[in-house]
Amino acid sequence: MLVKWIRCTVVDRRGFERGQRKWAGLLGEPGFRGQGGGWSRRRSDVAHVFGFWESRAFYDSFMARSHDRLAAAQSGTFKDIQVKLFDYSFDVKTGFEAKFTDADVVRVAHLKVHAERAEHFTLMQQKVWNPAMAGSPGMIRGLFGEAPGDEFLVLSMWRSEAERGKYQVNRVERLSARAQTETDVLDVSGDIVGLEPSWTV
């Protein structure tokens, strides 16, 4: 599965939201699995969208055919767009599905890892971070993705920001030390995204 993460700064909120609803046109596209997103809880003008495709081939075909027509509705409503593609590696918890209807927030973490530590980082994600997240009340599902250049994406969906906050406070420092995260990671950025139901396709 291919995961697409779009982050942009919105300059016309109403226009952007109107355009976002036009992405319902993705339904029926070959290989399309689902899409959702919402507003950053940290910066009110930043929007995130997450899209899921069965494979790179289906995604490339969509980009060549239908993408520009659907995207035209949002032209001029945003700036500073960043688009990143990741290959799905494994689930965080079990049975990842590209659905957003039962979640309130998504936590997205984008990590750049030292090349020689990438294997260790991936292993620690499976052995240390995954069980901790999977056992947290309110964590619904998630995934771990990889891109060329030792870049990784960890996406987790939560029933509420309060429940995600409890996990953050109680465990992150201890888990980080156990996983030797500081030794593995060059750079980490991320956000908490409040999901907008009308953006779900």
Q: Is 190 exposed, middle or buried (0-12, 13-18, 19+ CB in 10 A)?
A: middle
The CB density around residue 8, as the number of other CB atoms within 10 Å, is: 19
Q: How does 135-168 read in b/e, with b if 16+ C-beta sit within 10 Å?
A: ebebbbbbbbbbbeebbbbbbbbbeebebbeebe
Which pTM does this prediction carry? 0.95
Strand partners of residue 59? none
pLDDT tens per residue, range 30-84: 999 999 999 999 999 999 999 999 999 999 999 999 999 999 999 999 999 999 9
Distances from the Cα of 157 to the Cαs of 98, 150, 161, in angstroms?
10, 23, 10
Q: What is the CATH number of domain 2-196?
A: 3.30.70.100
pLDDT tens per residue, range 101-147: 999 999 999 999 999 999 999 999 999 999 988 888 899 999 999 99
Q: Are strands 46-53 and 139-147 parallel, antiparallel or unpaired?
A: unpaired
Q: List the domain boundaries for the chain.
A: 2-196
Phi, psi (rounded to 5 degrees) for 15? -65, -40
- Return the H-helix or E-strand segment holding 133: helix 130-134
The candidate with the shortest Cα–Cα distance to 54, out of 92, 2, 18, 17, is 2
